[in-house]
Amino acid sequence: MRGYDAFSQTLKDLKLLPVFGNPGTTELSALRHVEDYVLTLFDGISVGMADGFSQFYGSPSIVNLHSVPGLGNSMSFIYTAKMNRTPLIITAGQQDQRHLLMEPLLSGNLLSFVGENVKFKYELTKAEEIPSAIRKAKMIATTPPTGPVFLSIPMNLMDEEINYEKQDDISINYNTNNKEVLDYVSEIINSAKNPSIVFGWEVDFFNAFKEAEELAEKLGCAVYSEPLSHRAPFLSSSKYFAGDLMPGSTLINLKLLQNDVIIFLGGDITLYPYLPSPILKGKKVIFLGMNIQPKFGEFYNVNVKIFMRELKDKIKRKCNFAKPLDLGMTTKIANERSNMGINYVFSKIKKEFSSYTVVDEAVSSSYILRNFMGYSHNTYFTAKSGQLGWALPAGAGIAMKHNKTLAILGDGALMYSVQTLWTLKRYKIPLKIIVLKNGGYVILKSYASSYYPDMENKAFLNFDLDIEKISSSFGIESMVAGNDMDELKWLAEGEEPKLLVVNVDRSVPKLFL
Amino acid sequence: MRYITVLPEFIPMEEVKATVSQILPEMEIVNDLSLDKYEAEVLVATTFTKLSRKELEKFPNLKYIQIASTGYDNVDISYVKEKGIALCNIPIANKQSVAEHVIAFSLVFLKDMMFLNQEMKSGNWPMLTGSRDLEGKAFGIVGMGMIGIQLAKRLLPFNVTILYYDIRRMKEEDEAKYGLNYMELDDLIKNADIISIHLPLTDKTRGMFGEREFSMMKDGAIFINTARGEIVDIDALLKAIKTKGIKAGLDVFPEEPPDFNSEIFKMDNVIVSPHIAGVTLESQQRFLTETISNVLRYAQGLDPLYRVL
């Protein structure tokens, strides 16, 4: 069997199709018999699509990049996959080994280039390694903490003859628990004066919402979500859910001021910007999870789904918290109607798209989006890295098989990966897109207003785009929402990708201390 | 870096200390400045603590004073200037509260609340009242700064005609956004049913409202001052109250506390409050948050906001 056949057969055997990519000459040989290939018109988009696909469907996926330029174009997406803990197998073609010494066009040190952004990186040396290297890559990517891996494949290996050995698919079992840790943590909670739980993205990863809710119910205390969680961390409809922690140390400390013990389940702390308050000083902080790497406190490796199920039976009720109803929101929404304020806009989106999976890149409105759209299993995704340009391709990856997917992004964010619109059209992917048009980088303006007020009105923070025209040039139907936002119904209808522009209030919210 | 906060005695120290230890553990909290010397570079205080030259000289390393209030009359400005110390206030925490206070003054007069309240408590059931609507009135705002804008935003739903005067006219689109009609001051005074002052006290605004201005006001109009007492000639106002039936809502006075024997406190068509328009439980929370934010900004190595010196 030739190398290219070994490559395509291994992908079939290891259930790694489709391949997301943007090939060049160095990859063509590998793709000779690949049957399921999703083309993107910018390399990074293929990584973003694979990231969304992999997270939503809970299985690793494969990406095919074009040598040094393709890898370079994809670095921010690979970094995001690392932060998202997404199991991706990223491949790139290397130049023909027989003249590497001559430093030919498109050659380079790909392993050095990908750097520390992957868990494992390897450049194949002979064609026989093709099946086993891909299998090893998949195994490492899916072993906790999960994450992207990288294979550099010299193009000449694909034409070599090998003896193909079928690869058995890997089997990963996350069902581990630790009784000692269970006893220890339950004892800490039971002897605490005022404990609190902070839930993280692994609740979604393991679909442990029922266990998390039952644990919160038993404890009776206010629970929170980790700051900037990239997946749904808890059922936001629960009366115990007191909201998302903000990513500033001072804000976290103030929120948890009264708590002596804080248990993080399947999540971690993300901070931005720097604030001088030492994080949770003098408190007992325990992190539990499988894919997290905390920076302080204590950490124990557990499967949070199993752990929570058993912890619930070992702890005593400590509080009688119930989230107060936010009746003032009705007034806020009514007040914001005339100027398309963000609360009004999301109240309308929520009505039409409540059953959708939301992919969020509305950076300056993200905290309001989360609040309105709510959390439950597989309903919320965003980039953990802070990257712009991720949501559109990730949404496309999810929408490939899930026809109720909505990407909500800012006008700035749209432009980072706008070529995704072509892929949506080409493959008839039914992603619905809402672009919140505010004419600039509002998150930067908000940051400026807190720290450098003279910069808030800088011309380079503003831009004006004709998004309807951009969308139609890719063949994607689009409309601009009026004040009643009736166009949301149009957006939800049909199985074709569509884009709705919403001209939102341009005032700058206070997002930083 | 060393930080110190001086709190008035009525604020619960232990509670504040517990909170501050989670925000900026280096911050020392005290009730007074009774020691001879302090090493702190940053001093946080309220207006309840006098910071005269005598107190400030105890801080040889002082670089930044944060006053947790809009006013900073308690600070010896000449000493601060002389030593090149940064002085910051919090000008943004009470604008909503003042705007609401102005509307409260207006409605109490328009709805004849004082009369009705007094009658009912005297066992009477008055059949007639001079109660009026705010809707349709011309409301003149003198000084369109942060408080003026908050006031205009709150007046819009009442369907009033909003007139304003400021030394700097706003952009046309901002006027349209808040429904504002710009007028020169004299025209505003002549046309407004209600006038509310929102100016800082400067050499130009001191005594800005005197006999000439009150003589131009409509008979029976409402005059509200929540800015600074010295902007208004109180004797001229008293005369206008007597001769033109002007109603006055006063939160500020030329001298504070004022002379309570003054005739102004005996007039039926005067409502007073003790310079408290901006002081609400909510505004105090905002003052606290903004003060913390500004001190943290400094601790991060950034310039603090709201620098007045």
On whether residue B309 sits in a domain, the answer given is no
pLDDT for A280 equals 97
For residue B215, what are the domain limits?
95-272
pLDDT over 90 at B168, yes or no: yes
Chain B: closest CA distance from residue A508 (Å): 15
Q: How far apart are CA B16 and CA B4, in angstroms?
A: 13
B171 SS3 class: coil
pLDDT for residue A360 is more than 90: yes
CATH number (domain holding residue B250): 3.40.50.720
Asked whether residue B152 falls in the same domain as residue B256, the answer is yes
In angstroms, the Cα distances linking B127 to A311, A396, B107, B114, B120 are 69, 70, 20, 15, 11
Tens of pLDDT, residue by residue over A48-80, are 999 999 999 999 999 999 999 999 999 999 999
B228 in catalytic set: yes
Q: What is the pLDDT of residue A194?
A: 96
Beta-sheet pairing, B222-225 with B247-250? parallel
Contacts of B236 (CB under 8 A, 6+ apart): B209, B210, B211, B213, B214
The residue assigned the tokens 């999810």 is: A398
Mean pLDDT of all residues in B35-49: 95
Interfacial residues of B (vs A; Cβ cutoff 8 Å):
18-19, 21-25, 289, 292-293, 296-297, 299-300, 302, 305
Q: What is the DSSP track for A331-376?
A: HHHHHHTTTT-HHHHHHHHHHHHTTSEEEEE-GGGHHHHHHHH---
Predicted pLDDT of residue B9:
86
Task: Choose among A60, A125, A48: nearest CA to A384.
Answer: A48
> At A159, is the pLDDT very low, low, confident or very high (cuts 50, 70, 90)?
very high
CB A161 within 8 A of CB A34: no
CB contact under 8 A, B300 and A276: yes
**pLDDT above 90 as % of chain B:** 89
Q: What is the residue-averaged pLDDT of chain B?
A: 95
- Residue B71: pLDDT above 90? no
Q: Give the pLDDT confidence score for residue A308 in this predicted structure.
A: 98
B-chain CB neighbours of A341 within 8 Å are none
Instruction: Say how many CB pairs under 8 Å bridge A and B.
Output: 39
Domains of chain A listed by start with CATH number: 3-159 (3.40.50.970), 179-314 (3.40.50.1220), 328-503 (3.40.50.970)
Q: Quick one: B23 and B106 in the same domain?
A: no
Contacts of B300 in chain A (CB under 8 A): 274-276
If you measure CA to CA, which chain A residue comes closest to B24? Answer: A277
Same domain, B265 and B288: no
The reply to whether residue B299 touches residue A250, judged by beta carbons under 8 angstroms, is no
The pLDDT tens digits of the residues spanning A446-483 come to 999 999 999 999 999 999 999 999 999 999 999 999 99
Q: Are residues B206 and B290 in the same domain?
A: no
List, for residues A115-145, the tens digit of each pLDDT value.
Answer: 999 999 999 999 999 999 999 999 999 999 9
Pair B135, B60 in one domain = no
- Give yes or no for A459 touching B (CB within 8 A): no
- A172 pLDDT band, cuts 50/70/90, is confident
Q: Quick one: pLDDT at residue B73?
A: 83
| Same-domain check for residues B113 and B189 | yes
- pLDDT of residue A217 exceeding 90, the answer is yes
The pLDDT, as a whole number, for residue A241 is: 97
Give the pLDDT mean for B215-224: 98
Stretch A285-313: mean pLDDT: 96
The residue of chain B nearest to residue A450, with distances taken between CA atoms, is B305
Q: Is the pLDDT of residue B200 over 90?
A: no
pLDDT tens string A2-18: 999 999 999 999 999 99
pLDDT in the model for residue A147:
98
Q: Identify the sign of the CA torsion A413, A416, A419, A424.
A: negative
Q: Answer yes or no: is pLDDT of B197 > 90.
A: yes
Residue A38 CA neighbour count, 13 Å, CB half: 28
Task: Please check the confidence at residue B13 and state whether its pLDDT lies above 90.
Answer: no
Catalytic residue among B256, B263, B282, B307: B256
Average pLDDT over residues A295-300: 96
| A415 near B CB under 8 A | no
Beta-carbon separation of A513 and B292 below 8 A: yes
Report if residue B306 sits inside a domain: no
Q: CB distance A275–B300 less than 8 Å?
A: yes
- pLDDT for the residue numbered A176: 83
B167 in a structural domain: yes
Flag if A453 and B305 touch (Cβ within 8 Å). yes
ipTM over 0.85: no
DSSP 8-state secondary structure symbol assigned to residue B5: E
* Nearest beta carbon to residue A250 from set B18, B23, B305: B23
CA-closest candidate to residue A201, choices A115, A325, A304: A304
Same domain? B99 vs B82:
no
Task: Give the separation between CA A280 and CA A257, rounded to whole angstroms.
Answer: 8
The DSSP bridge pattern shows strands A261-265 and A195-199 to be parallel
The answer to whether B23 contacts A451, with C-beta atoms less than 8 Å apart, is: no
Chain segment A333-346, per-residue pLDDT in tens: 998 999 999 999 99
Tally of domains in chain B: 2
Tell me whether residues A277 and B300 touch, CB distance under 8 A: no
- Disruptive mutation site among A256, A262, A272, A277 for chain B (greatest number of B CBs within 10 Å): A277
Mean pLDDT of A280-297: 96
B133 plus B191 within the same structural domain: yes
Do B218 and B234 lie in a common domain? yes
Q: Do the beta carbons of residue A93 and residue A24 sit within 8 Å?
A: yes
Residue A246: CA count within 13 A, CB half-sphere:
17
- CB nearest to B22's CB, from A274, A281, A452: A281
Q: Determine, yes or no, domain membership for B225.
A: yes
Q: Which residues are within 8 A (CB) of B284 and not within 5 positions of it... i.e. 6 or more apart?
A: none
The tokens of B93 are what? 């925490």
Model confidence at A288, pLDDT cuts 50, 70, 90, reads: very high
Distance in Å, alpha carbon of A219 to nearest chain B alpha carbon: 25
Task: Inform me whether the pLDDT recorded for A327 exceeds 90.
Answer: no
B254 and B115 in a common domain: yes
Domain for residue B305, yes or no?
no
Task: Inform me whether the pLDDT recorded for A90 exceeds 90.
Answer: yes
Q: Find chain B residues with C-beta within 8 A of A452's C-beta.
A: 302
Cis-peptide into B200, omega within 30 deg: no
Say whether B132 is catalytic.
no
Mean pLDDT of all residues in A165-171: 91
pLDDT number for residue B127: 87
Q: Which of residues 270-329 of A touch B (CB under 8 A)?
A: 274-278, 281-282
In tens, the pLDDT along B251-297 reads: 999 999 999 999 999 999 999 999 999 999 999 889 989 999 999 99
The answer to whether B296 contacts A276, with C-beta atoms less than 8 Å apart, is yes
Is B197 found in the same domain as B65? no
Q: What is the pLDDT of residue B47?
A: 86
Beta strands in A221-353 (DSSP E): 223-225, 241-244, 261-265, 284-289, 298-301
Across the interface, do B23 and A253 touch by the CB < 8 Å criterion? yes
Check whether residue B172 and residue B266 sit in a common domain: yes
Share of chain A above pLDDT 90, in %: 96
Domain presence at residue B49: yes
pLDDT score of B8 more than 90? no
In 3-state terms, what secondary structure has residue B26?
A: coil
Q: How far is A251 from chain B (nearest CA, A)?
A: 9
Asked whether residue B308 is domain-assigned, the answer is: no
Which candidate in A449, A451, A454, A513 is best for mutational testing of the B interface (most B CBs within 10 A)? A513
pLDDT of residue A186: 98
